Chain A
Amino acid sequence: MSAVAESDRPSAGLLSLWYNREARQVIIQIFTIAVVFAALFYLARNAAINLERIGKDLGFAFLLEPSSYDINQTFIEYSSRSSHLRAAVVGVLNTFAVAICGVFLATVVGFVLGVLRLSKNLLMNKMVYCYVEVVRNVPVLLWILLMHGFVVHTLPHPKQAGDIAETFFFSNRGINMPSPTFEPLFWACALVFVAGIVGAVFYKRHAKKVQDETGKILPVLWVSLGLVIGAPVVVFLFTGMPIEWSIPALKGFNFQGGVTVKPELMALTLALALYTSAFIAENVRAGILAVNYGQTEAAHALGLRNNRTLQLVIIPQAMRVIVPPLTSQYLNLTKNSSLAIAIGYMDVTATLGGITLNQTGREMECMLLLMAIYLSISLAISSFMNWYNKRIKLIER
């Protein structure tokens, strides 16, 4: 057999390599890498020639020059005399702010809607269906513009601002709310709060041990709540409420005191949360539906009550299905926050990729830096969610 095959083959030469499976794979890979590197080299060479032609060089020194533009929302100290680098950091923090608020809001709304979508109530069910379809099928940029228009045009002027108990004010300048100033004794409350969390963790372990040994179920939830929230509140009252609130008040044409959530941040957060919540609702629904009804029946047959069934059987299994798509929704929300530039919210795309780029004319450096920032945010979120996903994964025998 082998002799025949041997004689059929060309005895030597490159062609014989091509008929060898492993050799062929190596050839294909070398060829691909060569083509890719040739293309990259070609592009880099073009870039070098083009840059030389207009007399530009590559370098990140411009980041240390003064930015000479203002940013309307800053979480760290910043003025127009600060450097471009600092402007970029302010932008990154603004991106984080909108991403965190948006993710939180979208998750809450999305889970509620996803559960309502499964309710037996026909009316609620169909309403949520309509909400999801309408929201999903309209571009997110349009939602951002609509929401911004709503906040700026429809909400009242500060003079007629709507308010909750004279402390929270809603107007087209944003939300004004009280800001705390901490007095010295407040550290005691904070300390008790941290101690409460540690205590709750230990108590949960202890309760599990007791349950494993004796089958007795200890009231973990109530004790934890007492430790984490109750104890600090008691200390807070005993130390004489060591927080002073600066409450906003209308002075002249605008509010003084307290903190202001800028209308752009508000519009962007609401729009992103609205858009993403529709997707999360669908993920949640799919996740719950993915748990076989037999699981519920089996849990009931074991004598578990409805809420215990939900807590111990359904939710842990549904979460395994929900988490991977949830991760990509969080990533999408973070990336979509770059659309802030359309309504003038100063996130990192608007500072580094917008004004800094236009002022310094350093397209190459700015874009590379911007993409590197987004890449690292994306990789950080996805690796965290992968870790979480691995933790809750079903361990099969």
Chain B
Amino acid sequence: MNITTQSYKPGEHPSLPPPRNLVGPVKWAKDNLFGSITNTILTIVAVYLLYLIVPAILDYFFFNAAFEGSSRAECREIAKGACWAFIDERISVFTYGFYPVEERWRPNLAFVLLFVALAPVLFDKVPYRGKLLVFSLLYPLLAVLLIVGPVSVESMHFSQGVSGPLTWLVIFAFASALFVYGSKTHNALAMVVGIVPAGFVLVAFFLSDALWISIPDSIGLTNAADDIYIFEPVDTHLFGGVLLTIIIGVTGITLSLPIGIVLALGRYSNLPAIRTLCIMFIEFIRGVPLITLLFVASTMLSYFLPPGTDFDLLLRVLIMVTLFASAYMAEVIRGGLQSLPKGQFEAADAMGLKYWQTMRHIILPQALKVSIPGIVNTFIGLYKDTTLVLIIGLLDILGVGKTAISDPAWNGLSTEVYVFVAVFFFVSCFGMSRYSLYLERKLHTGHKR
């Protein structure tokens, strides 16, 4: 009643609260759940589906699951749902495969150092970034040394396992990088220090087997190395589980990006021969399934190597996986290159920049920024594709799981194993895609208006 009696001067009336059906949960529900007839039907369907799925899953995997026990029968006695005791018992195999127990600190250390090496690459606000980047460059060598073990001079021969050839490859890469750096900065010492070992590796690769044996022999190194091991070398067929998955994933990811960039530039170049070669390579790799390439690695690749060589299976797989990923990477980066307006190239030409200067300073920074989502998607695809190695007999995390299922004491636990592996992949891949979103936001500069 006092509403009528109260009076305000013009413009001084206090704001009334909005009508009740336009605020709060009622409004929210109306907007999001019951806006129209179709919307209401969708809500009902969704709630029904959730009711069907969620309680059943929670029941089976958590509330009704057995977390202890030493066989499947014991699990069954405790609870009717999933039997996680199995995973618990096998967790070390899932992590390391058959890597010797007393040596497991080495992959652990390599794994921790991986983050130290990755930090300056992934984030730019890391203290001592410049010095850490040097460590990141040296990390691959260190990781091989830690995980595979020290390399005896004899095993440097191409026919010996994974570490020998890989060490030579790394030495070659570093030496040639040093040479290029020297030639850019007119530093004669760096050029000489770089060209000598690089040339040695190249010559030795194309010349005969004899050189490999004779040079270490002549300086008396062949057998001396045996006594100075700090830790034992580990055979690569003992690798397995998460360790193997990460080794293949990280190697493929780090190597496929530079190769992919080179291939993309080749496909985008105006030199017909180089363009044709790159197109042929990319389209061939993209046209066949990864599994056929892995078959090639396991059955056919040894035919193409010099007679008598025995290339490590893991190394062959790494090469194939890297080639496969780099073809996809090249296509993603080509998309980025094509999205750049022609004016960027013309402006760089007008400034008098040479081809590599144009690419290094003008084109690639922009093209790579545009293609980040695609690059990360390729990484995720590669990481998921590492599971395919189980088909040619390498025991990655899924392979370990698959062999573990056949244990008679735990017969019939495939669901638990697969779900465990699925969760592992989901966590790592989802993490990667979140990082890509962060990167996109961080690099989204320049075009903001």
Contact = CB atoms under 8 A, between A and B. Distances in A.
B198 to A, nearest CB: 16
Contact of A353 (B32, B271, B292, B422): B292
Interface string B385-415: 1011011000000100010000000001011
A36 B286 CA distance: 20
11 contacts: A29-B271, A29-B272, A47-B303, A137-B380, A137-B425, A138-B384, A145-B398, A342-B390, A353-B292, A357-B295, A363-B299
B425 A123 contact: no
Interface in A369-397: 370-371, 374-375, 378-379
Nearest to B412: A153
Q: Which of B295, B414, B415, B419 has the most CB of A within 10 A?
A: B295
A335 B402 CA distance: 23
A62 B201 CA distance: 42
Contacts of B302: 50
B303 to A, nearest CB: 5
A367 B296 contact: yes
Contacts, number: 155
Given A123-B32, A133-B430, 11 more contacts: A32-B277, A46-B306, A50-B304, A121-B39, A124-B43, A138-B422, A139-B385, A335-B288, A339-B388, A367-B300, A374-B287
User: Top 9 nearest A-B pairs by Cβ distance?
Assistant: A122-B32, A137-B429, A29-B273, A139-B384, A335-B289, A378-B287, A338-B289, A375-B287, A123-B46
Contacts of B126: none
A149 B384 contact: no
B47 interface: yes
B352 to A, nearest CB: 13
A43 B306 CA distance: 8
Contacts of A367: 292, 295-296, 299-300
A28 B289 contact: no
A235 interface: no
Contact of A142 (B35, B49, B292, B418): B418
B210 to A, nearest CB: 17
A137 B433 contact: yes
A142 B292 CA distance: 18
B291 interface: yes
Chain A residues touching B, range: 35 or more
B437 to A, nearest CB: 12
Contacts of B277: 32-33, 36
B33 interface: yes
A336 interface: yes
Given A121-B33, A349-B292, A364 B300 contact: yes
A43 B289 contact: no
A28 B273 CA distance: 9
Interface string A124-140: 10010000011011111
A36 B266 CA distance: 14
B307 interface: yes
B291 to A, nearest CB: 5
Contacts of A142: 387, 398, 418, 421-422, 425
A342 B33 contact: no
Contacts of B134: none
A266 B331 CA distance: 33
Nearest to B389: A141
B181 interface: no
Contacts of B43: 121, 123-124
